[in-house]
Amino acid sequence: MAKNRFSKQWMRRHLDDPYVKLAQQKGYRARAAFKLIELLDAENLMKPGDIIVDLGAAPGSWSQVARERLLGPDGTLQGRIIALDILPMEPIPGVEFLQGDFREDTTLAALQQALGGQQVDLVISDMAPNLSGIRVADAARMQHVCELALEFAVNHLKPNGALIVKAFHGSGFSQTVQAFKSTFKRVVERKPKASRSESAETFIVGRGLKVTKEPALSH
């Protein structure tokens, strides 16, 4: 009974959420679109001609935003968007989608093959592991996901490229930030207005590579 009541409360709050309503109005697949929009505007990132990799892309709202930002004056897509997720994703015109687990070497190899040697302007990652409710275990899983995104960025970003990842405050967060500071010339932490106040999520933005070798996170 309590669980059912909680579910009803969540649904009511979800339907009353202004960002949910705005996403429906604008045709975005999730309210998360507005988190990315705020991050991009704050950092002046993403423009026509860029090559974008969207990790943890499903259901596709971040790829939708990226597509909008890469449209040229004539309405054609200028640049590339390669999206990846372990879950299937409904097609988005001009977005190349790969389905697979980013933690597996075969998926990473497929993504590298899709890039065809091209360097990337921006990696965006809304990836999060399935959470168990055990805080220490969940923090370790989230740290690992951030580490994988960071390693990918080091190997594939242009020297002045950028990486945006979702992270959770708690155990391992400070180590993740430190790894970013060892890797990028500029690092900022941002919690967009569209991020719910009770959520532990914070987005870390790194810009301009300092190093060209794979970084190591402290464990």
Residue 40 lies in a domain: yes
Q: Tell me if 197 is assigned to some domain.
A: yes
CATH number of the domain enclosing 51: 3.40.50.150
The reply to whether 219 falls in a domain is: no
Tell me the catalytic residues: 166
Q: What is the distance between the terminal CA atoms of the chain, rounded to a whole angstrom?
A: 41
Tell whether 10 is covered by a domain.
no
* pLDDT surpassing 80 at residue 62: yes
In a domain, residue 101? The reply is yes
pLDDT at 160: 97
DSSP state of 162: E
d(CA 91, CA 88): 9
The overall average pLDDT reported for the chain is 89
Helical H segments across the chain, by residue range: 2-16, 18-26, 33-43, 61-69, 105-115, 135-156, 173-183
The domain in which residue 110 lies consists of: 29-209
Note the pLDDT tens digit of each residue in 154-193: 999 999 999 999 998 888 899 999 999 999 999 999 999 9
Cα–Cα distance for residue pair 109/208, rounded to 1 Å = 24
Look at residue 218 and tell me if it is in a domain.
no
What are residue 162's DSSP bridge partners? 122, 207
Is residue 71 in some structural domain? yes
Domain count for the chain: 1
In a domain, 114, yes or no: yes
